[in-house]
Structure 1
Amino acid sequence: MREFENPDHWDNAARHYQQTAHPFTALFAEDALARLPLTPGSRVLDVAAGTGALALAAARSGAQVLATDFSPGMVECIAAAGLPNVEARVMDGQALDLPDAQFDAVFSIFGVIMFPDWRKGLAEMARVTRPGGHGVVATWQSRGAATFLLLGEIRQKLFPERPGMAMPEAVQALSDPDDFARALVAAGYRDPCIEAVTHNYRLDVAALDAPDTLFGMSPDWTSLDDVEKAAVVAEVRDRAADRPILPIPSTALIGVAER
């Protein structure tokens, strides 16, 4: 089992993820919601919800939202928001414990793409979407985003002979919009529309004073020795120059399809 497939890993990372990744992924969640406006009568499912970037944003429309994740730590973060129209439950997205055709909109924002059997995850999303409803999936391009993307670029520059972090299979498989569209159709959806969206991850250069906190979720960091880590930090500071914030342009593909 790879680290990102282990719920214990995400339980341990949940609070850090909520503080660092959630505000960034929320930008893409808003983009996804803009492509599928919700109403107070909408029934919404967020699969592999993380700390709830999509679920909590969807709740602002008045929709009834169920957020699921296999990590109890992530689910606790969502529940702690205390929104009356959001229910959070621990659940395996590859085998949703839910009836068929129950939801008007089913989202997964950088969630299903982490599954060992991501095709099953997409098929489960389609199964629980009502006829005429929609599925919305966000995935990264092939080298990821934010600090993961930055570390990959720097490793390639500083240590070109060393392989970088292996991305989840789905990230590779869905990086091409045509392949992404075909995967949504194979899962049970129709008429997919795939669009690229880019936002800057704003890396606070002051956070480099504690680089293990900043980069510690990435194997591209944890696999380095102290000398190599110091070289990476120096390279990041060099890229930032005198700027307090280093922007890292990160592109996602957002797929919307009808059931």
Structure 2
Amino acid sequence: MSEQVIDQVGEYYDDIGELVELVGGNLHVGYWESDEDDTPFLAAMQRLTTEVGALLAPRKGERVLDIGCGVGEPAVRLAQRYAITITGITVSHWQVAESARRVIAAGLRGRVATRYADAGAQPFPDAVFDAALAFDSLPSAQDKAQWLREVHRVLRPGGRFVFTEYPRTAELTAAERDILTANTIHHPPATLDESIALAEAAGFRVTDAHDWSERVHRTYDEFFTALAEQTPALAEEYGAERVAMFTEGITTMFSLCRAKIGYHAIACEKPV
């Protein structure tokens, strides 16, 4: 990413900071099996981590890279479930610090670590990771091809990679694209084939691909409900003005996502 975009993404996540408590530290969508599925909001978000982890299929003792790791909540859950070592990278200094706190609280010091790094210019040697994950982070890349080339470089031959994408499910106006860009979503693909083509162009072999748009669409309504319920407590903790600004911005963004943004999950591997 360019320095300007790195700063934009980092500042965006630094600014929302502690408000990740609304989503239990999970900076991604939730997953429901159907409209009749009554799984609560935060449990549905944890379920998505489980579903994405199953696609990645980590093996005990493997070294995994988590690109755009947020505050480390998915990394903590996956490390606990699969007994793996995870290195997370992010361009938010606040997320690095918060992730470290969560890792220590989870008893995973030495197994999960987060560092400040650009996904498009990673500070790792070639072929050092067994698997990699870009969990709701690739949409923030201005140059997705460069991100994917870097993932390909740092994976060993035969290494697995799972990424998720936010496709557009309807045509976007110029104003809507501006809203997405302001919220660090760049160049949403139109089809599952476009998401697959991104991976193939970087040298990966795609092994599985899913359009989970219908399974995640409830996220936005559930989020608005949680926000309304917690607004008084959040305002007392962080200040009414900050919460009001957050609410205004996220309402515009999530209303657009609910109407025109879907969800893809792609599993692939680096050929031997």
TM-score bracket for the superposition, by shorter chain length: 0.7 to 0.9
The match for 1:176 among 191, 194, 209 is 191
Distance in 1 (alpha carbons) for counterparts of 2:24 and 2:141: 18
Match of 1:50 in 2: 70
Q: Give the 5 Å matches for 1:26-105.
A: 26-60=46-80, 61-81=82-102, 82=104, 83-84=108-109, 85-105=111-131
Could you tell me the percent identity over the aligned residues? 20
Match of 1:152 in 2: none
Q: TM-score when scaled to structure 2?
A: 0.69
**8 Å CA contact 2:92, 2:116 repeated in 1:** yes
Match of 2:252 in 1: 220
Q: Secondary structure of 1:96's partner?
A: coil
Q: Secondary structure of 2:132's partner?
A: strand
CA drift of 1:212 comes to: 2.5
**8 Å CA contact 1:165, 1:220 repeated in 2:** no
Q: TM-score when scaled to structure 1?
A: 0.72
Higher relative contact order (CA 8 A, sep 6+): 2
Gaps of 5+ in 2: 29-45, 232-242
Distance in 1 (alpha carbons) for counterparts of 2:47 and 2:186: 19
The match for 1:129 among 146, 155, 171 is 155
Distance in 1 (alpha carbons) for counterparts of 2:266 and 2:87: 20
**8 Å CA contact 2:169, 2:190 repeated in 1:** no
CA drift of 1:42 comes to: 1.0
> What code does the residue aligned with 1:164 have?
E
Distance in 1 (alpha carbons) for counterparts of 2:63 and 2:226: 42
Distance in 1 (alpha carbons) for counterparts of 2:132 and 2:25: 19
1:108 aligns to 2:134 (yes or no): yes
**8 Å CA contact 2:168, 2:260 repeated in 1:** no
**8 Å CA contact 1:47, 1:107 repeated in 2:** yes
- Pairwise CA RMSD: 3.3
The match for 1:207 among 224, 227, 234 is 227
Q: Give the 5 Å matches for 1:161-172.
A: 163-164=175-176, 166=178, 167-168=180-181, 172=187
**8 Å CA contact 1:47, 1:108 repeated in 2:** yes
Q: Which has the higher strand share?
A: 1
**8 Å CA contact 1:42, 1:64 repeated in 2:** yes
Gaps of 5+ in 1: 145-155, 222-231, 233-246
**8 Å CA contact 2:26, 2:74 repeated in 1:** no
> What code does the residue aligned with 1:92 have?
D
CA drift of 1:219 comes to: 8.3
**8 Å CA contact 1:18, 1:51 repeated in 2:** no
Aligned CA distance change for structure 1 residues 98 and 41 (closer, same or farther; 3 Å): same
| Bigger Rg, structure 1 or 2 | 1
Q: Give the 5 Å matches for 1:180-195.
A: 180-195=195-210
**8 Å CA contact 1:79, 1:87 repeated in 2:** yes
Count residues in correspondence: 220
